[in-house]
Chain A
Amino acid sequence: MLQNASIPILKLKEFLIVSIQTDLHDRMAEQLQYDILHRISETNAKGVLIDISALEMVDSFIGRTLADTAKMAATLDADIVIVGMQPAVAITLVELGLSMGEVRTAINLDEGYELLKEELVEETPQTDEAESVAAEAEEDDNGSV
């Protein structure tokens, strides 16, 4: 039963993709949180994209669970980005004064993926790049002389 209701967590390169397509009840949200954290530690994923484009409503519990999951994931060194939020959901969240904490959002999966990739580039030390730039500059100097 629970097996049947579980949401698949797909790995793509360094990231995980979670597509939520059913209205989550509280139990399911907790299960999903658990599953996501486990998959992060199993796969060493650097980021998680949660697609909620099929959700027509997000209640306070789900919102909080997602925000908590993001914080937990951050302690495992993975960034969570919520993607594809419907306008109606955004309106409801703000009108009800609910907060998703500081979870990052992106308009769609593609943008979310770019966001995570940029983060990954920023995090990795750029000494190599700096060196290669310096080397190139040197070459240029030699060339002009």
Chain B
Amino acid sequence: MVQSSAIPIPKLKEFLIVSIQVDLHDKMAEQLQHDILKRISETNAKGVLVDISVLETVDSFIGRTLAETARMAGILDAELVIVGMPPSVASTFVELGLSMGGVRTAINLDEGFDMLEAYLKGEIRHQKISATEGEDVVGDETDKD
């Protein structure tokens, strides 16, 4: 039985942790977006960590919804970081020409948490997420090899 976005959003210090463990269908992704924004405003969270380490696929809709959520969260003054993206998801994304609009990513939860703490201390600037697909990202300083 599928519950409507039964994905819990616990708070840890100033941040929310969202662990996505089921393949999201479109309705669920929208529900999750709504839930995340609601929790941000309830808890005054300064950041959101979205863990997708067990997802085997992320389609264009989910990708776009996550990017949108990051922008909406940004308006609520919360920084969203996607953590634990599997290599296969990253390669599919690029091969299909999909874009996440430059949402900040980290290799795992631990790194993402450090990134958010650095952001809170003002060591990293607020991320700018492009509105349209495929546009180059401005202000993304996360270095990747």
User: What is A's interface to B at a CB cutoff of 8 Å?
Assistant: 4, 6-8, 10-13, 17, 19, 21-22, 51, 53-54, 83-84, 108-110, 113
**Are A53 and B19 in touch, CB under 8 angstroms?**
no
B residues contacting the other copy or chain, number (CB 8 A):
20
* Main DSSP-derived SS at the B contact region: loop
B17 interfacial by beta-carbon distance below 8 Å: yes
CB < 8 Å neighbour of B110 from A6, A12, A19, A113: A12
Binds A, one of B25-33, B51-59, B134-142: B51-59
Q: Are B21 and A110 in contact (CB under 8 A)?
A: no
B51 touches A10 (CB 8 A): yes
**A51 vs B21: C-alpha distance when bound (angstroms):** 13
Q: Verify A8–B10 contact, CB threshold 8 A.
A: no
**Residues B22 and A17 in contact, CB atoms below 8 Å apart:** no
Residue of B nearest to A19 (CB): B19
Chain A residue numbers with a CB within 8 Å of B84 are: 8, 10
Q: Are A84 and B110 in contact (CB under 8 A)?
A: no
- B12: contacting residue among A7, A8, A54, A110, CB under 8 A: A110
- The answer on a CB contact under 8 Å between B109 and A17 is yes
